[in-house]
């Protein structure tokens, strides 16, 4: 199925966001920055879904994006709870300080 050339600009944008998010997830130690990177990663896919859905003239991509927004909210809530607990345990949200488990 042919996708219009203009759509690929959206894919370029989402690809860039995905790359930034991956870089942030790998290189940032602060838990809040990690949560923000995760939001970037999930929303990069949403841009794709919206752009492709418009290009295909179908609704299922938009539907997926809606569900995905709800999932991102759930992910943030669970992540925040885990990081709050981490802060209680080690008085810091620096995830690089969590080094009890290794081997």
Separation of alpha carbons 33 and 22, rounded Å = 12
Indicate the burial class of 78 (C-beta count within 10 angstroms; 0-12, 13-18, 19 or more). exposed
Residue 51 C-beta: closest distance to other proteins, Å: 8
Select the residue interacting with other proteins from 20, 30, 86, 92 (CB under 8 A): 86
CA torsion through residues 49, 54, 57, 58, sign: positive
Task: For residue 4, state whether it binds other proteins (rule: CB under 8 A).
Answer: no
Query: Roughly how many angstroms between the first and final C-alpha of the chain, as a whole number?
Result: 49
Residue 75 makes contact with other proteins by CB under 8 A:
yes
Residues forming contacts to other proteins in the complex (CB under 8 A) are 1, 3, 7, 11, 14, 18, 21-22, 25, 31, 34, 38, 41-42, 44-46, 48-49, 51-53, 55-56, 58, 60-61, 63-64, 67-68, 71, 74-75, 78-79, 81-83, 85-86, 88-90, 95, 98-103
């Amino acid at each position: 199925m042919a996708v219009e050339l203009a759509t690929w600009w959206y894919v370029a944008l989402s690809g860039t966001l995905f790359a930034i998010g991956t870089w942030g997830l790998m290189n940032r130690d602060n838990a809040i920055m990690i949560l923000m990177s995760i939001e970037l990663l999930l929303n990069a896919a949403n841009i794709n879904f919206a752009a492709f859905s418009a290009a295909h003239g179908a609704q299922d991509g938009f539907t997926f994006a809606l569900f995905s927004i709800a999932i991102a909210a759930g992910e943030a809530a669970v992540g925040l709870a885990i990081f709050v607990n981490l802060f209680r345990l080690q008085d810091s949200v620096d995830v690089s300080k969590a080094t009890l488990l290794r081997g």
